[in-house]
């Protein structure tokens, strides 16, 4: 029996990245970390309209996708964005955009013939 086809490892990694960003609460946390820099869970939860436990759960999901890093500062854990992963996402979206531009150009050329 042939092996089932699996997407390449980088596709799975990208899927994790975009799945993690596909939640409005996590996007809000990304925005908050972009504006304010590294923050504790307590500071991230303030004004979020969700509990600290929910913020923690979202941060763990984002950490699995490589979007955030944490470090100890005194008695609390501080979270920050991993800018490299966002750069990876930007490059991938630019690649897809270029593919769409090429496809649309081929369609335009075909229609104009």
Residues sharing a CB contact under 8 Å with residue 69, sequence separation 6 or more, in sequence order:
63, 79, 80, 81, 82
* Look-up of token digits 């490059």: 91
- What is the tens place of the pLDDT at every residue in 17-45? 898 999 999 999 999 999 999 999 999 99
Give the domain range for residue 26. 9-82
CB 81 within 8 A of CB 30: yes
Quick check: is 89 in a domain? no
pLDDT digits (tens, 9 = 90+) for 49-70: 889 999 999 999 999 999 999 9
Is residue 3 assigned to a domain? no
CATH of the domain at 70: 1.10.10.10
> What is the count of structural domains for the chain?
1
Does 34 reside within a domain? yes
pTM of the model: 0.76
Please check whether residue 106 lies inside any domain of the structure. no
């Amino acid at each position: 029996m042939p092996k089932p086809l699996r997407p390449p490892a980088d596709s799975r990694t990208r899927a994790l990245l975009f799945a993690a960003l596909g939640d409005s609460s996590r996007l809000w946390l990304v925005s908050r970390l972009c504006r304010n820099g590294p923050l504790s869970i307590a500071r991230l939860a303030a004004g979020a309209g969700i509990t600290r436990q929910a913020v923690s759960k979202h941060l763990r999901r984002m950490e699995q996708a490589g979007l955030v890093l944490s470090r100890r500062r005194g008695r609390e854990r501080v979270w920050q964005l991993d800018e490299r992963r966002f750069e990876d996402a930007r490059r991938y979206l630019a690649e897809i955009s270029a593919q769409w531009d090429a496809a649309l150009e081929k369609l335009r050329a075909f229609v104009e013939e």
